[in-house]
Amino acid sequence: MADATCAQKVWIFRWTAFGLIAGTACLRLVYLAAACPLDLAPDEAHYWDWSRNLDWSYYSKGPLVAYLIRLSCWLFGDLSRALTGHETLAVRVPAVLCGALFLTSLYVLTAQVFRRERLALAVVALALTLPILSAGALIMTIDSPFICLWSWALVFGYRAVFRESSWSWAAAGVCLGLGILAKYTMVLWAPCFGLFLLCTPEKRRLLLRPGFWLLVALGALAAVPILWWNSAHDWATLRHTQGHAGIQDGGVRWLGPLNFAGQQFALLLGFWFVIWAAALWLHHPGSERRPELRYLWFFSLPVFLVFGLCSFKNGGGEPNWPVAAYVSGLVLGSGLLARQWTSSSANLRRWTRASVAASAVLGLLLTIAAHDSRLVRPWLAALAGPASEVNPTPLRRFDPTCRLRGWRALAAAVDEIRDTLRDEGRTPLLAGAVWTLPGELGFYCQGQPKAYSFGPALGDRRSQYDLWRPNPVTDARQFLGEDFIIVGGDPTQLRVAFERVENAAEVVHREDGMPVARWHVYVGRSFQGFAPTGAQRDY
């Protein structure tokens, strides 16, 4: 009877977790279909442009994100256009699915390690309060499939090691390989796994078993198309990654680690960063004898340290770079919180419960505000101050969602200029002054035309647009005499490449009377080609 009651409780937790995960995914889809005020982020639009040109790999990333977007637009493109008038919903469906699968993996991993389904349910619920995880389940960037695959590789790796599941070695290897195709950070999974086995005497023998090498081989196999593509493109990804990490910079940024730590502290709302750090300290390999918890440790701190060391060169990098460190770290920290939650010390219990509740409420409020920042715009506007000539869009300093606003308004203004030039008998081409613009123009302009990047000629970094041929920077002769509508850039620089450059429009997108985005649009008459320049960057 006791066993039956226990099994019944287990299924209650599992079905509750399933309902929470599935319900959240459905709400996200409804939000994207009916109420989402956010246009595609520049990265999303860039990857969508990749999906129109499928290849073995791309300038800065592997090909998985492009194939997922292409498949989703093929399956849901018509529905997305019928519901929203464009394909934004279709582009983001994979992010929602990856987010649901990630939460499922968190539940499974927590239940495996601690054998406590109630704790696994709590981890899923708490994960839903973290803004960084909610953003990854809505915005379709490389992080969505990457984190999903990293976490499922953890699940299968755990099964392979602790449950001696032979098929789990292959499953973990497939996740490793697909993860590499999503984001190169996935490469760190294999050495973290190897370090765990090497530093855990009772599991060290697995390093010599076929399962481990099958896992590594499957991961390496996925890198073949990336290496093959790069060998045909002058190792563009390697040069981009070196520049992005700051390796090409000869200097050392001594405050970089401090900036890096501050970013991560803010990303985890302070409290969760402290819990994560405390859990790592309490369970470090020198004192932790339970191999299950050592397993989580070795997939967290080493990843964090890699990016922490890189911060000496890149000044701290992007806040999301070490996010994989927090997947196993969240599960490890949940065990610490569970002990403190029922501690014999009344003060510790009260502090833990109050801190968890406060952090969860703060996270939920920030998540809601990110979904629609209009709810908090009066406060943000007061904080930002009035617009000025020096700072025409002050709200952008405090509202990161401004990067996802106004693109449809820009495309509408560009379409009006296109119609005017067509009335003159001209068929203008589209271009952006930086690499973030062509994808947005191609996605939202009428007919989804091809757009080019003038970035390398104007001092911006190189991108995938510079590898697609022909393009006006590299293959100027094939574009001689063409008219271009150009978004952004310095007209003085643009005049070098055209017979005449005209100021066509200043597009200011306002919401609630506040300017949140501004672009200058020019018409370049009769393209002549850019002079060779050394200003372009490879990253």
Are 283 and 183 contained in the same domain? no
Q: What is the pLDDT of residue 262?
A: 93
Residue at which a domain ends, from 224, 240, 264: 224
Residue 384 lies in a domain: no
End-to-end CA distance of the chain: 64
**Which runs of consecutive H residues, i.e. helices, occur in 199-324?**
210-231, 236-244, 256-267, 271-282, 291-298, 301-314
Helix (H, G, I), strand (E, B), or coil: what is residue 506?
Answer: strand
* 229 occurs within a structural domain: no
DSSP string, 399-441: -GGGGGSSHHHHHHHHHHHHHHHHHTT---EEEESSTTHHHHH
505 within a domain of the structure (yes/no):
yes
Task: Decide if 14 is inside a domain.
Answer: yes
Cβ neighbour number for residue 443 with a 10 Å cutoff: 24
Q: Which residues pair with 501 in a beta bridge?
A: 524
Write the CB contacts of 98 (distance below 8 Å, at least 6 apart in sequence). Answer: 136, 137, 144, 145, 147, 148
What number of helices (H) and strands (E) belong to the chain?
21, 5
The pLDDT of residue 3: 46
CA distance 216 to 290: 25
Distance CA 170, CA 214 (A): 7
535 in any annotated domain: no
Both 46 and 3 in one domain: the answer is: yes
Q: Among 97, 125, 141, give the residue marking a domain's end.
A: 141
What is the tally of structural domains in the chain? Answer: 4
Give yes or no: residues 345 and 215 share one domain: no
Angle between helices 301-314 and 291-298 (to 10 degrees): 20
Report whether 531 contacts 496 (CB < 8 A): yes
Question: How do 498-511 and 451-453 pair as beta strands?
Answer: unpaired
Distance CA 314, CA 331 (A): 29
Q: Residues 111, 10: one domain?
A: yes
* Inter-residue long-range contacts of 384-393, CB under 8 Å, 24+ positions, other chains counted: 387/514, 387/515, 392/508, 392/515, 392/518, 393/515, 393/516, 393/517, 393/518
| Residues 105 and 148: beta-carbon distance below 8 Å | yes
Inside any domain, residue 393: no
The pLDDT score that the predictor gives to residue 2 is: 42
CA 143 to each of CA 120, 157, 267, 350, 393: distance values in angstroms, whole numbers, following the listed order: 23, 20, 15, 36, 28
**Predicted TM-score (pTM) of this structure:** 0.94
For the chain, residues with pLDDT lower than 50 are: 1-5, 534-536, 539
Q: Which helix (H) or strand (E) holds 484?
A: strand 484-487
Is 277 inside any structural domain?
yes
185-208: pLDDT as tens digits:
999 999 999 999 999 999 999 999
Domain carrying residue 491 = 405-527
Average pLDDT, the chain: 92
Spatial distance between the Cα atoms of 315 and 321, rounded to a whole number of angstroms: 13
C-alpha span between 358 and 305 (Å, rounded) = 29
Whether residues 330 and 360 share a domain: the answer is yes
